[in-house]
Structure 1
């Protein structure tokens, strides 16, 4: 049964909250720990459905993964090359990250695995990882349209390749590097612009022989020497900046608000949204800066602000690709026009996020134009939007949370058709917003 959600803000938002652990780092921590010999300990792991799908798949291939009573997770790895044949298919649920990265892991092991997912994930194309991993020797058979269900027969030893990413994609880069761990020789990935670098930081932390060279044209060359021997680690996962984006934008939009979001990862390859919001006039302070497990971390202090529209530089897209839905909400309440282009990637996420956001924004009274590769939004000048609509979130967690935040800045509450998918990345989202002073409006289940 669907779980409708509607929020409103009877007063200014205030308080200090923490957001769940970074989803990208959580996935990678589990995968690399599973390839060590010995026990790794992970604190702050995101316990959303996507990350739990990764944990279940790794268990099915021999890793021992358990949650301890203190909330930390322990992983007893099988070593690079030690993945076992799973007894049944690997269910990825809604997680594109789990799917693409695990296909990379399996590609260079003597393992055959079938990947399946929910209806949303099964619509998402996998060609971008199939192509390079097939060049490394994996036999990959997909459903029509390069979609799930998908069968992978790994090759061991696989063939090292040099691969230039046709588009900036941290998932494709990571899939190739993960395959390279069990591949003799040097696997080389060339990315046209820097994407989130959690894989590189974590691979180096686990002991892989990896180098990264920035080129004069802005591209980066990553080299990994295969047949690696990874060392178990103790990892502290920082708060996810993609999750922090939702209470941050809520604080910017609700008059009089002052919100602190503690322990947020501020890796520069992920912090594009906060840079854009500051340029739009948002008051977002950074305190208590520190480095945790090789990742920069800080507390964000956000005050309600009058925002101005802007042209979002396409070069920033890789550093905030998951945050554009909530940026579009901020833009709808700003003064002037915001234009964001170069976002074709958003059409193949959990939903077509450009189309879904355009429809939803229009439904709540925003002025929006859908472009081929982006959106143009004429803001309300800080005035509340009419609201009052029910939004089809299309089983997309970020669409659902974005319009839940929009509801706080509308004259009439906005209803999201189903809050269930939010659990894939931010299971405590509603409680977090209530801690800050938002209230849930009674709705009738669909």
Structure 2
């Protein structure tokens, strides 16, 4: 029987992906402590989540007004810890939970990324996953020594080559290469360790790689691009795809379209899991959950939305009056997330959008920019079941109004209801993330 994949959407910072979460009266404030992340890991593992995943940026949002003062004053994702370090901490507090983090193909080198994730995969006994991004804003470029962010499709061309290098390094060691035989003095078989010697348009990387294969072969690959070029990249490489669908009908169309792309790339669509971002608000009763949702909806500020829109679209929204339409030249010049502009176009047609349109339609910075399931455990499970059963997704990226309490509530209340319906596993089936996702352990060279 087909069952859901569940992912916890995490941030190594002062808030969840919902900026206003730090203002919630039940949000823990020890977000720089190890125990904060250990508790999140334990809550997700208690709910048998497949994966705890850390989104990441390489800069705080400071495009609005060209300054970071508003970001710091309002707590708009201004604290960003290194996610690999945090995953190592979480890995020591859990045994089966998958551990995923974001690393950019634009601002890191393939050998470095390959080694970081292969090491994490080894020390967590095969539970690592890499969320592949090409990054999205000029703030990240400036922090990493570049004048501006590169052109969208070229970043994905570079990312394709980046993956070829990483996968090549991950395939450098055969299983059983290490024998560590003290009697013969042989540590490892030289014929089972290869040098890559890769040369391409964007990268050169020699090898040999320095990290042996893990219990799951290599880390699981995640991707979240929703532009046309991003979907093409995901169809080639990703094993889990995180999507931002905004209504059921659109989700069903886009899901079917993407699965067709996966098949066209020569891969099995049933082995690529599409997980939709959602905001659940659950309590023992619907009335109580609605009260919780009203509290959450009072937390965002307009500056949250304007700051995050400026960041993601690489345009300073402080320069545009809130109700004045952008020109087409302005829209065409933006180098940020194309999927967001495409969505605005679908909603408004030929009418040029204003900053207020972007706030109202994207709901960025609020607890509304993903579908919401609010109510009792039955209510929330009903919503999730409808999306899953009608092939709008294969699972969910569960985002929290506050942490760790929202994940503890979801694991305690919603997960048992999903399990009762046979929609979600009752326990982990294996030791590695691949085993728990139902993915085969890849043979050396299987990606080529």
Q: TM-score, normalised by structure 1?
A: 0.31
The structure with the largest helix share of the pair is 2
Q: TM-score, normalised by structure 2?
A: 0.30
The structure with the largest strand share of the pair is 1
